[in-house]
């Protein structure tokens, strides 16, 4: 069986300018995720970042991507509309898309969902507990009743998203909030998974359970078909 | 009770250049729809068209619109992105949106749904039968088991849309196709209804049952709240 | 406009045997709810209880019920299957059903949803905060960002229900759990709303916000049609 | 990888009493389906029928079933409630269930969906065309834009089912009707697929495309977990 080809896209700005982030992710965040995925059977992950030509997402790279993982935060607006349009087309054709944490405000996520994707937030480093609402879903394979993150940023409802096809995780926060933390949608022939955890100043992507969820999501989001859009003038099938 | 304020938007190009369309809609299509709505209790409809300044959709007009009806076909690309963005913001804040027929390819519809909204089609003037799948839905109030249109354009599956919140009508076509002809979605706080019938060269909007469905949809799509988007930094509700 | 006819059904056992419950609901729980509803415009509520003949749900009572509210806890098994079947038939024909709190384990709720409807629970009298996920839904009209209940029983996920049509409230609990506290489904032509709050040893149904939600839900669940089931042998509509 | 264990359940009455059915299925319908499945890689199918002790669905058989296929028609009422209850429990725990054709009126299907599952019908032997609405779904792998059945019984809308999680096929009938012919739901941890084709007096289960869909559905419906129901009294996770 051919490996699933993953491209881990990272804005890669915080790591350059923030000492705290550098300490948590000395190997940079996208590399940490890609390295973890490369340890999983049947997955081959590479990386791409904002400051590369075409943000590292050339036609050739997209052709060689089954599942795209997206992390962005401070520079959503610097992503070129033309690249967003290409990525969107590929998702609608069947490519999987996994959007992490602050990627909720990325152009690609908002453009596929059609809503603002806004939420309430607080950078307080308190506890989050993600309840596993769908223990039979492939994305929660090997995950218990909940995942605990001792220190994280808070995201709270109302999260402005269309009703998910499946709600997989609901988060509890020490400060009193809740959040739909793991959600799936299909758009065109592509599968989309949003996963909340992943703030740059907490070592979330070093957590084996978080990596397990992302690995599961890669397997789940793998394309079943790739199919170009068309709007055919179609001859009658019956005599009329 | 205050009337529901409806703006019927029409591209209004076919009527200017096509003699056949002029004959079917001597009073122009948007006026036919608006006049029908104005006969219904509690609805006050006005019109707007592409060639007006800002396509007739100024801030003031949008402020005074509870439900926007959209018909477009040959000039989707002439609708300014800035106007689309304003309309989208209003829908997400709570304004209702009813998209008719070839409006499936409008910028506003595609931008709210996130998909291509493509389909198969054939301009053959044959029979369509719309089956009423949800007789308890407010949009089908007063409609029987099905609606028959003796002569219409065909739209067939696969219709590239996200799974509707509710599938209201499924069409049967004499040439052998089926189509999800009446679909609802919520985006933000706004309600969206797509309704397939309405080709410019057939007198669809003179059909009392089609008008009944659109009138019902206006009542259903009326905003319950209007709420501006925000992404607040939110203090903890519990001691932490 | 004719009033909406509501029947508030209560098992009415705790109130007879538990002094604490008697103190909180000296006027009995079903009467408290019915009295509150009767103060709302356009609603006319009566009550029915388990120990009445046919549990108070005769054909005549069901004929005169637009929306049935259900509270049960310790005696779910004493509800006769024949009565459950009649109520189910009426819901599928269009009658609204509002299931409160421990009613999650009632025969009628489980039989309409098809799942076990189990959950985790703890009677600890701690704080619950119900987040309003759908501020544009008629059921949350007049409700703010959340409802706080200072002392309540805990219900936690995983709640074994089919994916709701709309998830309206998500609860946060002081002990660390979350719960889908307000959910809607359509079954047949009937609307169903499950609302979590309402434990017998806490004065939940004296809370004006809880009563507001139930009142809104009554208006939302009102039948649009009542339609008997049939499985007709149906002649062809086209020449074949 | 262990094979998927399938039990094909058939009422097996028509084949005993109807000469026409005997001619079409000399090897009996359940054996035809099971034999076809046994030719597929990684599937091991056995059969069970109504007139066996416990309808062939003993605890041991259910223990050894990953996916249950159900065909019934004239004897739904002879299926013992106790057996239905056992099958339902297993589905909620994770076992897959594929319901064929007239199985729409089986106790197990109605009990899992909660609705009447009624529809309109006509035994006229005319053409059906099943449109493939979800070409990216595993159930339609290898299936083109539609499947044609030259002679079949008609099933038409309104089909009284809860809104499917995914609508996979919509049928067109020569007589003028449409039908939601392929639908999925999740109940508990189990996956359910309803597939319309399969009348006993037409050789539907000899059609390679129909067998392909059923084979795909078996792979899709395979359990990811098996999990017994519980309703635990659950200690607090946070200090309160």
Task: Pick the closest to residue D115 from C234, C114, C67 (CA basis).
Answer: C114
What are the pLDDT digits (tens) for B165-184? 999 999 999 999 999 999 99
Cross-strand bridge partners of residue D233:
C121
Q: Does residue B129 sit at the C interface (CB-CB below 8 Å)? A: yes
Q: Round the average pLDDT of chain C to a whole number and report it.
A: 97
Q: Round the average pLDDT of chain B to a whole number and report it.
A: 97
Could you give the 3-state DSSP secondary structure of residue B203?
coil
Nearest chain D Cα to C157, which residue? D231
Contact C95, C223 (CB under 8 A): yes
Chain A nearest CA to D131, separation (Å) = 12
Chain C nearest CA to B189, separation (Å) = 5
Mutation for D interface: C231, C232, C237, most D CBs within 10 A: C231
Q: Does residue B184 sit at the D interface (CB-CB below 8 Å)? A: no
Contact C122, C175 (CB under 8 A): yes
What pLDDT was estimated at residue A115? Answer: 98
Chain A nearest CA to C172, separation (Å) = 6
Q: What is the 8-class DSSP label of residue D201?
A: T
Angle (CA) B9 B15 B17, round 5°: 135
What pLDDT was estimated at residue D86? Answer: 98
* B151 located within any domain: no
Q: Does residue B93 sit at the C interface (CB-CB below 8 Å)? A: no
Q: B102 exposed, middle or buried (CB, 10 Å; 0-12, 13-18, 19+)?
A: buried
User: Which residues are within 8 A (CB) of D231 and not within 5 positions of it... i.e. 6 or more apart?
Assistant: C105, C116, C118, C119, C120, C121
Could you give the 3-state DSSP secondary structure of residue A204?
helix
Q: What is the value of ipTM here, to two decimals?
A: 0.96
Nearest chain B Cα to D119, which residue? B133
What are the pLDDT digits (tens) for A67-120? 999 999 999 999 999 999 999 999 999 999 999 999 999 999 999 999 999 999
Q: What is the CA radius of gyration of chain A?
A: 18
Contact D122, D168 (CB under 8 A): no
Q: How many CA atoms lie within 13 A of A14 on its CB side?
A: 23
* B159 located within any domain: no
Q: Does residue D225 sit at the A interface (CB-CB below 8 Å)? A: yes
What are the pLDDT digits (tens) for C58-96? 999 999 999 999 999 999 999 999 999 999 999 999 999
Contact B177, B119 (CB under 8 A): no
What are the pLDDT digits (tens) for A7-64? 999 999 998 999 998 999 888 999 999 999 999 999 999 999 999 999 999 999 999 9
Chain C nearest CA to D124, separation (Å) = 9
Could you give the 3-state DSSP secondary structure of residue B229?
coil
* C15 located within any domain: yes
Q: Two tokens at C53? A: 């003949």
Contact A194, A116 (CB under 8 A): no
* B126 located within any domain: no
pLDDT at B27 over 90: no
List the B96-100 sheet strands across, edge first.
B43-49, B4-10, B67-71, B96-100, B190-195, B178-187, B166-173, B120-132, B146-156
Contact C163 A166 (CB under 8 A): yes
Q: Two tokens at A212? A: 């397990």
What are the pLDDT digits (tens) for B89-103? 999 999 999 999 999
Contact C234 D188 (CB under 8 A): no
State how far the Cα of B16 lies from the Cα of B19, in Å rounded to an integer: 8
Q: Does residue C165 sit at the D interface (CB-CB below 8 Å)? A: yes
Mutation for C interface: A172, A175, A183, most C CBs within 10 A: A172
User: Which residues are within 8 A (CB) of C237 and not within 5 positions of it... i.e. 6 or more apart?
Assistant: B129, D175, D176, D177
Which residues from chain A sit within 8 angstroms of residue B238, using beta carbons?
174-176
Strands annotated E in chain D: 4-10, 43-49, 67-71, 96-100, 120-132, 146-156, 166-173, 178-187, 190-195
Q: How many CA atoms lie within 13 A of C74 on its CB side?
A: 9
Contact C172 A176 (CB under 8 A): yes
Contact D158 B129 (CB under 8 A): no
Chain C nearest CA to A175, separation (Å) = 10
Contact A225 D135 (CB under 8 A): yes
Contact A224 D174 (CB under 8 A): no
Measured CA distances, B39 to B35, B42, B49, B212 (Å):
7, 9, 21, 11
Which residues from chain D sit within 8 angstroms of residue A238, using beta carbons?
174
Helix orientation angle between A29-39 and A208-221, rounded to the nearest 10 degrees: 70
* C87 located within any domain: yes
Q: Does residue B124 sit at the D interface (CB-CB below 8 Å)? A: no
Task: Pick the closest to residue B76 from B53, B30, B108, B54 (CA basis).
Answer: B108
Helix ranges, chain A (H): 14-17, 19-24, 29-39, 59-63, 81-93, 107-113, 208-221
Place of tokens 């009295």: C35
Contact D198, D192 (CB under 8 A): no
State residue A203 phi and psi, 5-degree precision. Answer: -80, 50
Mutation for A interface: B116, B191, B238, most A CBs within 10 A: B116
Which residues from chain D sit within 8 angstroms of residue B178, using beta carbons?
131, 170-172, 178
Q: Does residue A176 sit at the B interface (CB-CB below 8 Å)? A: yes
Mutation for A interface: D67, D128, D136, D225, most A CBs within 10 A: D136
Q: pLDDT by residue for chain D (240 residues), tens digit each?
A: 799 999 999 999 998 999 998 999 888 999 999 999 999 999 999 999 999 999 999 999 999 999 999 999 999 999 999 999 999 999 999 999 999 999 999 999 999 999 999 999 999 999 999 999 999 999 999 999 999 999 999 999 999 999 999 999 999 999 999 999 999 999 999 999 999 999 888 999 999 999 999 999 999 999 999 999 999 999 999 998
State how far the Cα of A4 lies from the Cα of A66, in Å rounded to an integer: 6
What pLDDT was estimated at residue B200? Answer: 87
State how far the Cα of C192 lies from the Cα of C90, in Å rounded to an integer: 12
What pLDDT was estimated at residue B240? Answer: 80
Q: Does residue D147 sit at the B interface (CB-CB below 8 Å)? A: no
Mutation for D interface: B119, B144, B148, B157, most D CBs within 10 A: B157
What is the number of domains present in chain C?
1
Q: Two tokens at B157? A: 């599956």
Could you give the 3-state DSSP secondary structure of residue A85?
helix
- How do strand A190-195 and strand A96-100 relate by DSSP bridges? parallel
Nearest to D119 among C122, C231, C238 (CB): C231
Contact D186 A138 (CB under 8 A): no
Cross-strand bridge partners of residue C195:
C100, C182
Range B52-71 average pLDDT: 98
State how far the Cα of A167 lies from the Cα of A149, in Å rounded to an integer: 19
Which residues from chain B sit within 8 angstroms of residue C238, using beta carbons?
174
Mutation for B interface: C95, C134, C136, most B CBs within 10 A: C136
Nearest to C131 among A134, A167, A178 (CB): A178
Q: How many CA atoms lie within 13 A of D9 on its CB side?
A: 30
Nearest to A240 among B124, B187, B231 (CB): B124
Q: Does residue D227 sit at the A interface (CB-CB below 8 Å)? A: yes
Question: How much of chain D is in helix, strand and coil states, percent to nearest 5?
Answer: 30, 30, 35
pLDDT at A1 over 90: no
Mutation for A interface: B115, B129, B233, most A CBs within 10 A: B115
* A196 located within any domain: yes
| Per-residue H/E/C for chain C | CCCEEEEEEECCCHHHHCHHHHHHCCCCHHHHHHHHHHHCCCEEEEEEECCCHHHHCCHHHHHCCCEEEEECCCCHHHCCHHHHHHHHHHHHHCCEEEEEHHHHHCHHHHHHHCCCCCCEEEEEEEEEEEEECCCCCHHHCCCCCEEEEEEEEEEECCCCCCCCCEEEEEEEECCCCEEEEEEEEEECCEEEEEECCCCCCCCHHHCHHHHHHHHHHHHHHCCCCCCCCCCCECCCCCCC
What are the pLDDT digits (tens) for A120-168? 999 999 999 999 999 999 999 999 999 999 999 999 999 999 999 999 9
Q: Does residue C122 sit at the A interface (CB-CB below 8 Å)? A: no
Range B188-201 average pLDDT: 96
What pLDDT was estimated at residue D74? Answer: 95
Could you give the 3-state DSSP secondary structure of residue D144?
coil
Q: What is the 8-class DSSP label of residue B163?
A: P
Angle (CA) C181 C185 C190, round 5°: 130
Nearest chain B Cα to A228, which residue? B116
Which residues from chain B sit within 8 angstroms of residue D163, using beta carbons?
166-167
Using CA of residue A199, residue A201, residue A207, residue A211, what is the dihedral sign? positive
Helix orientation angle between D29-39 and D208-221, rounded to the nearest 10 degrees: 70
Nearest to A122 among B105, B156, B233 (CB): B233
**Which CATH number is A73's domain given?**
3.40.50.880
Task: Pick the closest to residue B175 from D155, D131, A231 (CA basis).
Answer: D131
Angle (CA) A71 A73 A79, round 5°: 80
Contact D122 C233 (CB under 8 A): yes
Q: Does residue C207 sit at the A interface (CB-CB below 8 Å)? A: no
Which residues span the domain enclosing A214? Answer: 4-114+181-221
What pLDDT was estimated at residue B1? Answer: 79
CA A124 to chain centre: 23
pLDDT at C27 over 90: no
Which residues from chain B sit within 8 angstroms of residue A229, using beta carbons?
116, 118, 160
Q: Does residue C207 sit at the B interface (CB-CB below 8 Å)? A: no
Q: B130 exposed, middle or buried (CB, 10 Å; 0-12, 13-18, 19+)?
A: buried
Q: What is the 8-class DSSP label of residue A65?
A: -
Q: What is the pTM of this model?
A: 0.98
* B227 located within any domain: no
* B238 located within any domain: no
Which residues from chain C sit within 8 angstroms of residue A145, using beta carbons?
158
Chain D nearest CA to B172, separation (Å) = 6
Contact B170 D170 (CB under 8 A): yes
Which residues from chain C sit within 8 angstroms of residue D231, using beta carbons?
105, 116, 118-121
Give partners of A (≥3 CB pairs < 8 A). B, C, D
């Amino acid at each position: 069986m051919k490996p699933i080809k993953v491209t881990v896209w990272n804005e890669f700005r915080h790591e350059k300018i923030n000492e705290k982030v550098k300490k948590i992710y000395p190997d940079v965040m996208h590399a940490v995720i890609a390295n973890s995925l490369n340890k999983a059977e049947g997955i081959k992950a590479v990386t791409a970042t904002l400051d590369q030509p075409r943000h590292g997402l050339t036609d050739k790279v997209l052709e060689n991507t089954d599942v795209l993982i997206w992390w962005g935060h401070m520079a959503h607006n610097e992503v070129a509309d033309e690249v967003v349009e290409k990525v969107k087309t590929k998702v609608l054709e069947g490519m999987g898309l996994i959007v992490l944490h602050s990627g909720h405000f990325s152009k690609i996520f908002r453009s596929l969902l059609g809503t603002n994707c806004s939420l309430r937030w607080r950078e307080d480093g308190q506890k989050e507990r993600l309840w596993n609402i769908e223990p039979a879903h492939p994305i929660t394979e090997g995950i218990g009743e909940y995942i605990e993150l001792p220190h994280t940023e808070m995201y709270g409802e109302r999260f402005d998203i269309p009703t998910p096809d499946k709600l997989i995780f609901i988060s509890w926060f020490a400060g009193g909030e809740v959040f739909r933390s793991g959600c799936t949608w299909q758009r065109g022939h592509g599968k989309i998974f949003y996963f909340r955890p992943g703030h740059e100043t907490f070592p979330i992507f070093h957590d084996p359970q978080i990596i397990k969820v992302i690995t599961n999501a890669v397997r789940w989001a793998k394309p079943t078909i790739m199919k170009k859009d068309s709007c055919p003038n179609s001859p009658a099938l019956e005599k009329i």
